[in-house]
Amino acid sequence: MPMQHHDSPILDPHWEGYELARDDTHRYVWIWMGFNIRLIALSLSDDAFGYDHGWCYARDVELVTKAVAEWDPDTQDEPMGWHKRPTWPTRQAPRRDENPDYNRARCEHGSYFLDNGCRVLNCRDIREHEDRAHAKGPA
Ligand SMILES: [Zn+2]
Protein backbone atom coordinates (compact mmCIF):
# COMPACT_ATOMS: atom_id res chain seq x y z
CA MET A 1 0.00 0.00 0.00
CA PRO A 2 1.46 3.37 -0.91
CA MET A 3 1.37 6.17 1.61
CA GLN A 4 -2.16 7.21 2.54
CA HIS A 5 -2.29 10.93 3.25
CA HIS A 6 -5.13 12.14 5.42
CA ASP A 7 -7.20 15.05 4.17
CA SER A 8 -7.03 16.52 7.61
CA PRO A 9 -4.70 15.45 10.42
CA ILE A 10 -6.06 12.92 12.90
CA LEU A 11 -5.61 13.76 16.56
CA ASP A 12 -3.64 11.11 18.42
CA PRO A 13 -4.65 11.39 22.06
CA HIS A 14 -1.89 9.15 23.34
CA TRP A 15 0.96 11.02 21.69
CA GLU A 16 -0.86 14.36 21.86
CA GLY A 17 0.00 14.91 18.25
CA TYR A 18 -1.45 14.67 14.78
CA GLU A 19 -1.27 11.76 12.36
CA LEU A 20 -0.63 13.03 8.83
CA ALA A 21 -0.30 9.78 6.93
CA ARG A 22 0.23 6.04 7.19
CA ASP A 23 1.56 3.21 5.06
CA ASP A 24 1.76 -0.57 5.46
CA THR A 25 4.06 -0.45 8.43
CA HIS A 26 3.91 2.92 10.15
CA ARG A 27 1.83 5.89 11.17
CA TYR A 28 3.48 9.29 10.72
CA VAL A 29 2.59 11.63 13.55
CA TRP A 30 3.93 15.03 14.53
CA ILE A 31 4.21 16.07 18.16
CA TRP A 32 5.27 19.25 19.96
CA MET A 33 8.73 18.82 21.40
CA GLY A 34 9.92 21.88 23.28
CA PHE A 35 11.05 24.41 20.72
CA ASN A 36 10.65 21.92 17.89
CA ILE A 37 8.13 19.72 16.19
CA ARG A 38 9.11 16.08 15.94
CA LEU A 39 7.78 13.86 13.21
CA ILE A 40 7.67 10.29 14.48
CA ALA A 41 7.19 6.98 12.69
CA LEU A 42 5.10 4.68 14.86
CA SER A 43 5.06 0.99 14.03
CA LEU A 44 1.54 -0.25 13.32
CA SER A 45 2.32 -3.63 14.86
CA ASP A 46 4.26 -2.55 17.91
CA ASP A 47 4.56 0.97 19.27
CA ALA A 48 4.70 -0.09 22.92
CA PHE A 49 8.30 1.01 23.24
CA GLY A 50 8.01 4.26 21.38
CA TYR A 51 8.76 5.19 17.83
CA ASP A 52 11.10 3.71 15.26
CA HIS A 53 12.22 6.96 13.66
CA GLY A 54 12.05 10.64 14.42
CA TRP A 55 12.95 13.89 12.67
CA CYS A 56 13.00 17.33 14.30
CA TYR A 57 11.55 20.31 12.47
CA ALA A 58 11.29 23.97 13.27
CA ARG A 59 8.10 24.82 15.16
CA ASP A 60 6.17 25.22 11.93
CA VAL A 61 3.19 22.95 11.33
CA GLU A 62 3.05 23.86 7.65
CA LEU A 63 6.66 22.85 7.15
CA VAL A 64 6.24 19.34 8.54
CA THR A 65 2.87 18.88 6.85
CA LYS A 66 4.37 19.77 3.47
CA ALA A 67 7.39 17.55 4.03
CA VAL A 68 5.18 14.53 4.71
CA ALA A 69 2.86 15.36 1.80
CA GLU A 70 5.82 15.35 -0.59
CA TRP A 71 7.48 12.27 0.86
CA ASP A 72 7.29 8.82 -0.72
CA PRO A 73 8.42 6.46 2.05
CA ASP A 74 8.42 3.51 -0.38
CA THR A 75 11.38 4.91 -2.32
CA GLN A 76 12.71 7.75 -0.13
CA ASP A 77 14.51 6.93 3.09
CA GLU A 78 13.60 10.10 4.91
CA PRO A 79 11.47 13.19 4.40
CA MET A 80 13.02 16.61 3.69
CA GLY A 81 13.17 19.79 5.71
CA TRP A 82 14.26 18.58 9.17
CA HIS A 83 17.33 19.77 11.04
CA LYS A 84 17.99 16.91 13.45
CA ARG A 85 17.58 13.15 13.42
CA PRO A 86 17.39 12.02 17.05
CA THR A 87 16.93 8.32 16.29
CA TRP A 88 19.20 5.54 15.12
CA PRO A 89 19.58 3.71 12.79
CA THR A 90 18.60 5.82 9.80
CA ARG A 91 15.39 4.72 8.10
CA GLN A 92 15.79 2.79 4.84
CA ALA A 93 12.97 2.81 2.30
CA PRO A 94 11.91 -0.64 1.07
CA ARG A 95 12.54 0.36 -2.58
CA ARG A 96 15.38 2.81 -1.93
CA ASP A 97 17.38 1.51 -4.92
CA GLU A 98 14.92 3.27 -7.23
CA ASN A 99 15.99 6.69 -6.00
CA PRO A 100 19.74 6.62 -5.33
CA ASP A 101 20.19 10.36 -5.73
CA TYR A 102 17.58 11.20 -3.12
CA ASN A 103 18.88 8.48 -0.82
CA ARG A 104 22.50 9.62 -0.66
CA ALA A 105 23.92 9.60 2.86
CA ARG A 106 22.65 12.40 5.09
CA CYS A 107 24.11 13.47 8.41
CA GLU A 108 22.10 13.77 11.59
CA HIS A 109 21.35 17.40 10.60
CA GLY A 110 19.72 16.43 7.32
CA SER A 111 22.53 17.55 4.99
CA TYR A 112 23.88 15.51 2.13
CA PHE A 113 27.17 15.94 3.89
CA LEU A 114 29.43 14.04 1.49
CA ASP A 115 28.55 16.54 -1.25
CA ASN A 116 27.52 19.68 0.56
CA GLY A 117 29.11 19.43 3.99
CA CYS A 118 27.06 20.47 7.00
CA ARG A 119 26.29 23.88 8.44
CA VAL A 120 26.75 22.52 11.96
CA LEU A 121 30.25 23.02 13.33
CA ASN A 122 31.87 19.73 14.33
CA CYS A 123 29.11 17.62 12.82
CA ARG A 124 29.63 14.17 14.29
CA ASP A 125 28.80 12.36 11.05
CA ILE A 126 31.48 14.29 9.17
CA ARG A 127 34.03 13.65 11.92
CA GLU A 128 33.28 9.93 11.90
CA HIS A 129 33.44 9.80 8.13
CA GLU A 130 36.86 11.48 8.19
CA ASP A 131 38.07 9.19 10.96
CA ARG A 132 37.08 6.16 8.92
CA ALA A 133 38.78 7.52 5.81
CA HIS A 134 41.87 8.24 7.86
CA ALA A 135 41.88 4.76 9.44
CA LYS A 136 41.77 3.16 6.00
CA GLY A 137 44.80 5.13 4.90
CA PRO A 138 45.69 6.04 1.34
CA ALA A 139 43.93 3.92 -1.25
ZN1 LIG B 1 25.67 17.43 10.16
Name which of 115, 106, 56 is nearest 81 in CA terms.
56
Tell me the CA–centroid distance for residue 94 and ligand 1, in Å.
24
- Give me the pLDDT at residue 138, please: 67
Tell me the CA–centroid distance for residue 40 and ligand 1, in Å.
20
Over residues 40-98, the pLDDT tens digits come to 999 999 877 789 999 999 999 999 999 999 999 999 999 999 999 999 999 999 999 99
Tell me the CA–centroid distance for residue 6 and ligand 1, in Å.
32
Over residues 117-130, the pLDDT tens digits come to 999 999 999 999 99
CA distance 28 to 49: 16
Tell me the CA–centroid distance for residue 8 and ligand 1, in Å.
33
What is residue 4's three-state secondary structure? strand
DSSP per residue over 105-133, as a string?
---TTS--HHHH--SSTT-HHHHHHHHHH
Q: What is the CA radius of gyration of the chain?
A: 16
Tell me the CA–centroid distance for residue 28 and ligand 1, in Å.
24
Residue 139 banded pLDDT, cuts 50, 70, 90:
low
What is residue 98's three-state secondary structure? helix
Tell me the CA–centroid distance for residue 38 and ligand 1, in Å.
18
- Give me the pLDDT at residue 46, please: 80
Tell me the CA–centroid distance for residue 56 and ligand 1, in Å.
13
Tell me the CA–centroid distance for residue 103 and ligand 1, in Å.
16
The pLDDT of residue 28 is above 90: yes
